[in-house]
Amino acid sequence: MRGIALALGGSPYEFEGERAGDAFWVMRLIGYPELRNDIGCGAHTDYGLLTLVNQDDDINALQVRNLSGEWISAPPVPGTFVCNIGDMLKIYSNGLYESTLHQVINSSPKYRVCVAYFYETNFDTAVEPLDICKQKTGGAKKFERAVYGEHLVSKVQTNFV
Ligand SMILES: O=C(O)CCC(=O)C(=O)O
Ligand SMILES: [Fe+2]
């Protein structure tokens, strides 16, 4: 996160203290039964700052939607993690970073396991575009302020109910 803060033109500590000094992180171990096109992980964006996904090296199941609206594969690259930008980083960066829509369909003949680490802001943090990011994107904020915990609860309720 310090590298991302620097890349955005800020101090390395933009995502610490009241923003993410007490990060509401979650690690999830997810199993996907083989040969199932009907269950998996439906299309969604991740909620927080940054997600690191460690997936099986030999199963191609994760897909991301590109700007043309097509689903494209994100095949595993052994020894690497997939990094997803979350909704909070999209807001902080005023859209310089996109929280990409993705889904998981395991139509392979093998059970797939993924370990996903979600690095989030503090639960109660009110997230709004950083000044440095507004300056780089024309001056105006493109997204309204969102309280991370409220966003999380509303996404979980709409995703899982
Ligand atoms: O299983 C994966 O590769 C990704 C899972 C995912 O997108 C999520 O849990 O948010
Ligand atoms: Fe995800």
Contact yes or no for 4/89 (Cβ under 8 A):
yes
CA of 103 from ligand 1 middle (Å) equals 7
Task: Check which CATH number belongs to the domain holding 1 and give it.
Answer: 2.60.120.330
In a domain, 160, yes or no: no
In a domain, 155, yes or no: no
CB distance 53 to ligand 1 below 6 Å: yes
Q: Work out the pLDDT band at 38, boundaries 50, 70, 90.
A: confident
Residues contacting residue 106 through CB under 8 Å, at least 6 positions apart: 32, 33, 34, 35, 36, 40, 59, 61, 112
pLDDT reported for residue 70: 97
In a domain, 108, yes or no: yes
Whole-complex ipTM: 0.98
Q: What's the CA gap between 40 and 62, in Å, rounded?
A: 10
Domains identified in the chain, total number:
1
Average pLDDT over residues 105-129: 97
Ligand 1 nearest atom to the CA of residue 55, by list position: 3
CB distance 125 to ligand 1 below 6 Å: no
Please, what is the Cα angle at 87 between 113 and 48, to 5 degrees? 60
Percent of the chain with pLDDT over 90: 92
Q: Is 123 helix (H, G, I), strand (E, B) or coil?
A: coil
In a domain, 143, yes or no: yes
Ligand 1 nearest atom to the CA of residue 103, by list position: 7
Using the predicted structure, report yes or no on whether residue 119 has a pLDDT greater than 70. yes
pLDDT reported for residue 77: 96
Mean pLDDT of the chain: 95
Average pLDDT over residues 97-116: 96
In a domain, 133, yes or no: yes
Please state, in angstroms and as integers, the Cα–Cα distance from residue 77 to each residue in 17, 40, 74, 80, 99, following that order: 34, 21, 9, 6, 21
Identify residue 101 by its one-letter amino acid code. L
Q: Are strands 146-147 and 126-127 parallel, antiparallel or unpaired?
A: antiparallel
Using the predicted structure, report yes or no on whether residue 160 has a pLDDT greater than 70. no
H or E segment to which residue 116 belongs: strand 112-119
Ligand 1 nearest atom to the CA of residue 114, by list position: 1
In a domain, 22, yes or no: yes
Q: Which of 84-93, 96-105, 114-123, 152-161 has the lowest mean pLDDT?
A: 152-161
- Identify the domain containing residue 114 by its residue range: 1-150
Ligand 1 atom 10: residue of nearest CA: 46
CB distance 41 to ligand 1 below 6 Å: yes
